[in-house]
Amino acid sequence: MLKQLAGQTAIYGLGTIVPRFLNYLLFPYLTRVMTVGEYGVVTDLYALIPFVLVLLTMGLETGYFRFAGKAGSEAEKRTIFSNVWGAVTAVSIVFFVLALLFTPQLARVMEYTDHPSYIRLVAAIVMLNTVTAIPLARLRQQGRAKRFMILRLLFVIVNLALTFFFYSGLPGLAGLGICASWYDPQYGAGYVLLADLLANIVLLFALIPDFRDAMPRIRWRQLRTILAYSFPLLVSGIAGVSNQFIDRQMIKYLLPSGISMDALGIYGAVSKLAVIIFLFTQMYRYAAEPYFLSGFKNDDFKRQNAEAQKYFIIVSIFMFLGITLFTNLFALMMGKDFREGVYMLPVILLANIFAGIWLNLSFWYKKTGETKYAIWITGTGLVFTLGLNLALTPVLGYFGAALARLGCETAMVAVSYYLNQKHYPVPYDLRRIGTYFLVGGAIYGASLLTSALPAALEYTLNLAMLAAFGFYAIRLEKIDMKGILHSIIKR
């Protein structure tokens, strides 16, 4: 069964990592064509989008998996889909209209009075992201990972092409007197938002064949049942996404106005380097959520979840080492002005690992319907996020925000594990997991000593240590790499 999960994760990985890798091309590009402050605007606005998305989807994505997984027929699944999608679509349209009506006020509060169009663009992006969220979730629920991957690739390729055009092609054409009225050199981050919006429109049209059999339609009786399950996930989701992105707002408002956007730009750029583990967590979630919320018996669920947690941690530590042992090379992806903050990369990477561990620890209460525990867990994280940021960010700047993020994720893992063992004990192999963390920490510590060596020797030794960790895990766990690869290729 875990080979099935590995295969699904790999396919979703292609649908997540490949598009994000292509999107990664924007990262070194934008940090070279934009100032630190302009990139700070991008970081600020894109930290707000996930928060609003969680609010508008209302936890119904997970609710859809839960109820569609229990449905007895395809017709019932279609009914659940059209109901959930109808609710989410209606809420997103209301949000967009309100954002248009109150654009001046929002621009003043968010300190974008010079560019109120940023607010309208963000609102449109959020609306389209929300509208397409449930159809994309349906593809995952149906196991149509390849179709999911194709659509993700389409979105990123269009976004990539348009961004390059707006920042390189359009200025060149304007210089030749062609489309000169379309180009404004002061528009800054606006072209990133415009490219994103147009790519989302293309994605929506590409999704049409996948939902023509079940158009949005709200059935209140059924919807109330799904919302009762999903509401705690909405509350916890708001707290959870705040834990992930509120550090950007803390940097913006707790640091002096003269340096806050520059600091935010550097923090956002270094966080981009750490996004690889976050992406792995996302691709794992795409596969694991419908997998673990299907019809598992309790004992089977516990065994599978414990094994999945262990293997998730092994891969995450391997990725952590793969980045931190070659930090200087990864730093070259950023523009020169952004590299001063690369020292905080290990902290952000470790925080992302803990976020994935917490994800695995969340499946038990989603399966049992005890979603109220999500509020306690993410609420605890939010308390740590606010408290640590208020204490550390004014003193340590963006490094304080990174430490606060790590403290938050650590607290949520601790509370999640406590609740799990109290209410639905899963036999996680703590001894083996602890061993991997100790070995990974020892290798990272050794890599700090090799940094004084000539570059060629340093990277050779680090590569050998990375390979040794992978070989150690494969031998210790008796991992059937051939079987896993066969499962991935077959899918």
Instruction: Give one DSSP letter per residue of 147-215, joined into a string.
Output: HHHHHHHHHHHHHHHHHHIIIIIHHHHHHTTSSGGG--TT-TTHHHHHHHHHHHHHHHHHHHHHHTTS-
13, pLDDT greater than 60 = no
Question: What pLDDT is stored for residue 85 in this prediction?
Answer: 87
| Across 74-86, average pLDDT | 84
Please give the Cα distance from 59 to 233 (Å, whole number). Answer: 5
Question: What pLDDT is stored for residue 468 in this prediction?
Answer: 94
Are the CB atoms for 68 and 81 separated by under 8 Å?
yes
Question: What pLDDT is stored for residue 74 in this prediction?
Answer: 77
278, pLDDT greater than 60 = yes
168, pLDDT greater than 70 = yes
- Tokens 């290798």, residue located: 443
Question: What pLDDT is stored for residue 482 in this prediction?
Answer: 61
Mean pLDDT lowest among 265-269, 289-293, 412-416: 289-293
Closest CA to 128 of 160, 99, 168: 99
Sign of CA dihedral 26, 32, 33, 34: positive
Please give the Cα distance from 391 to 381 (Å, whole number). Answer: 15
Q: Is 461 exposed, middle or buried (0-12, 13-18, 19+ CB in 10 A)?
A: middle
pLDDT band at 245 (very low <50, low <70, confident <90, very high): confident
Please give the Cα distance from 383 to 386 (Å, whole number). Answer: 5
Query: How many Cβ atoms are within 10 Å of 221's Cβ, its own excluded?
Result: 7
| Across 355-368, average pLDDT | 85
Distances (CA, A) of 389 to 65, 159, 411: 35, 33, 14
**DSSP at 424:** S
Are the CB atoms for 413 and 428 separated by under 8 Å?
no
Helix and strand totals (H; E) in the chain? 22, 0
**DSSP at 343:** G
Are the CB atoms for 330 and 346 separated by under 8 Å?
no
Q: What is the pLDDT of residues 173-211, one digit of tens each?
A: 877 778 777 888 888 788 889 999 999 999 999 998 887
Closest CA to 254 of 382, 389, 383, 108: 389
Question: What pLDDT is stored for residue 17 in this prediction?
Answer: 55
363, pLDDT greater than 80 = yes
| Across 359-365, average pLDDT | 85
Question: What pLDDT is stored for residue 11 in this prediction?
Answer: 56
Which range has highest mean pLDDT (59-73, 136-150, 187-201)? 187-201
Question: What pLDDT is stored for residue 337 in this prediction?
Answer: 80
Calculate the average pLDDT of the chain.
83
- 216's enclosing H/E stretch is none
Cβ-based neighbours of 153, under 8 Å, separated by 6 or more:
15, 18, 19, 22
* Residue 337 or residue 267, greater confidence: 267
Are the CB atoms for 437 and 300 separated by under 8 Å?
no
488, pLDDT greater than 60 = no
* Residue 43 or residue 444, greater confidence: 444
Question: What pLDDT is stored for residue 297 in this prediction?
Answer: 67
Q: What is the pLDDT of residues 221-242, one digit of tens each?
A: 888 888 888 877 777 777 777 7
pLDDT band at 78 (very low <50, low <70, confident <90, very high): confident
**DSSP at 58:** T
Q: What is the pLDDT of residues 467-476, one digit of tens each?
A: 999 999 988 8
| Across 267-292, average pLDDT | 77
Which range has highest mean pLDDT (32-36, 270-274, 324-328)? 324-328
Question: What pLDDT is stored for residue 3 in this prediction?
Answer: 52
- Tokens 């293309």, residue located: 202
Please give the Cα distance from 372 to 369 (Å, whole number). Answer: 8
Question: What pLDDT is stored for residue 122 in this prediction?
Answer: 92
484, pLDDT greater than 70 = no
| Across 40-44, average pLDDT | 83
Judged by DSSP in three states, 293 sits in coil
Please give the Cα distance from 336 to 322 (Å, whole number). Answer: 22
Which value, to the nearest 10 degrees, does the dihedral of the CA atoms of residues 7, 13, 18, 21 take? -140
Question: What pLDDT is stored for residue 254 in this prediction?
Answer: 87
* Residue 238 or residue 118, greater confidence: 118
Q: Is 484 exposed, middle or buried (0-12, 13-18, 19+ CB in 10 A)?
A: middle
Question: What pLDDT is stored for residue 486 in this prediction?
Answer: 59
487, pLDDT greater than 60 = no
Distances (CA, A) of 275 to 24, 323, 336, 349, 456: 10, 11, 19, 8, 26
- Long-range CB contacts (within 8 A, 24+) of 100-103: none
Question: What pLDDT is stored for residue 15 in this prediction?
Answer: 53
* Residue 357 or residue 235, greater confidence: 357
